[in-house]
Each structure stands twice: as C-alpha cells, then as structure tokens.
Amino acid sequence: MFIRISKLAKDLGITKVTLYNWHKQGRVEFVKPYDNNFNFVTQEEYNRLLGIKEDKEQKVIIYTRVSSTANKSNLENQLRRLVDYCNAKGYKVVKAIKEFGSGINDKRPQLEKLLQNLDFTLLVVEHKDRLTRFGFNYLDLFLKSHNKKIEIVNNVDTDEEDLIQDFVSIITSYCARIYGKRRSKRKTERLIKELQDND
C-alpha cells in the first residue's frame, strides 16, 4: 500500500515543502512505485511518522445475509460454511454478523454499524451480493481506502429465491413512487402474477 505525500503532509499538519526538507534530511523516505514520477510513502513509513502502531494480527469479520427470516436455515448454513472456510485458512474471526434484509436495501443496521466502526482488517462474505446487490465496487473502494479488504469466497451467483425477493423489492419501490403507497401493493401483486403467468 502506497500513500501520496500530499496526504501524509496533511495528516501530519505540515506543508509538502517541509516534507521535502525532511526527505533531504533523511527523516522520511519517498518511493516512486508507478511510472507517473509522483512521490509516495509506504504504509509502514506513514504509520511510523504518525505514530501508528501496526497490529500484525489480522482481525476478520464474517458477514452473512439472507433476504428474509423465512430463510433463517440458509443464514445458519451460510455462517457455518464461512466459519469452516476461515478456520481452514487460519483466520482469527473476531465477529460474525448475521442480517436479514434485501440485497438492494441500503438501510441495513448491521452493515451500517460495520462500515461506521471499521474495527477489522478483513471482511469475509460468501458471495458479492450477500454484501450488496448493487454498488459492490464502491464498498470495495471505500474499504480499501481505509486499508481493509473484502474476501469473496464464492463468485458464483446465489440462489434464485433470493434474487426473486430482491426483484420484488425493486418493483414495490418503483410502484410506490409511481402510484403512491396505497396502490403500490396492489399494482405489485398484479405485476408479479402477470410475470408468473407468462413464465
């Protein structure tokens, strides 16, 4: 992991000029890992200058999710598979999170709490869409910017039942916007019935 010297200067509360002077004095080591001729520092150098003690031990959090409480047994199986996976890789699991909710729902309390605290080094999920149905790349970039990683155990899509549940959630949401909340349920049910009849 390489960090721009502009970020280092900002976090130290000094100017880049001061940082360059430190470099000339041998107090900080710059690196040029890319072909763009920009100066960076390593994560280790950044931590040293800011007095951050590195925790060499990895803190792993398991995140599991299913769309509804009707799938509780699937949630437990998902958790068991991930615990077995982490044990096989020798990971130290500090927490296992179980959540019920649609993969398109951005108001999931457990996931929100996880992203606010960031008290882990590695987040393990079975499938990408266990974490989120859309926007996985944004979450991945956000966590990488905080030196956290996401490990996907299985890149194959999850079961059809969960996908249908998410699809129903999308239809319900848009029907509510178009027709108003009172009529949305009726419209959604009619649309789902038509889709099933045309299958």
Cα separation of 179 and 181, whole Å? Answer: 7
The model's pTM: 0.55
Q: Rg of the chain over CA atoms, in angstroms?
A: 23
Residue 58 has pLDDT above 60, yes or no: yes
Q: What is the mean pLDDT of residues 45-64?
A: 82
pLDDT of residue 175: 64
Cα separation of 29 and 26, whole Å? Answer: 7
pLDDT of residue 79: 92
How open is the CA angle 47-49-58, to the nearest 5 degrees? 10
pLDDT of residue 123: 96
Amino acid at the residue 60: V
Residue 86 has pLDDT above 80, yes or no: yes
Cα separation of 17 and 168, whole Å? Answer: 57
Residue 162 has pLDDT above 60, yes or no: no
Q: What is the mean pLDDT of residues 150-169?
A: 68
Q: What is the mean pLDDT of residues 152-175?
A: 65
Residue 56 has pLDDT above 90, yes or no: no
Cα separation of 21 and 15, whole Å? Answer: 10
**Interacting residues of 59 by C-beta distance below 8 A, sequence separation 6+:** 92, 94, 119, 120, 121, 122
Residue 143 has pLDDT above 90, yes or no: yes
- According to DSSP, the β-strands at 122-125 and 2-4 are unpaired
H/E run at residue 17: helix 16-25
Tokens of 164: 């249908």
Q: Beta-carbon neighbour count of residue 150 at 10 Å?
A: 16
- Please check whether residue 139 is in contact with residue 150, taking contact to mean a CB–CB distance below 8 angstroms: yes
Write the pLDDT tens digit of every residue in 95-135. 999 999 887 777 899 999 999 999 899 999 999 889 988 88
85 or 54, greater pLDDT: 85
188 or 153, greater pLDDT: 153
pLDDT of residue 159: 57
Cα separation of 62 and 124, whole Å? Answer: 5
Alpha carbon 194 to chain centroid, angstroms: 36
Write the pLDDT tens digit of every residue in 10-47. 999 999 999 999 999 999 999 987 777 788 998 888 88
Residue 194 has pLDDT above 60, yes or no: yes
pLDDT of residue 142: 93
Q: How many residues does this entry show for the chain?
A: 199
Average pLDDT, the chain: 83
Cα separation of 120 and 149, whole Å? Answer: 9
Grouping H, G, I as helix, E, B as strand and the rest as coil, residue 161 is helix
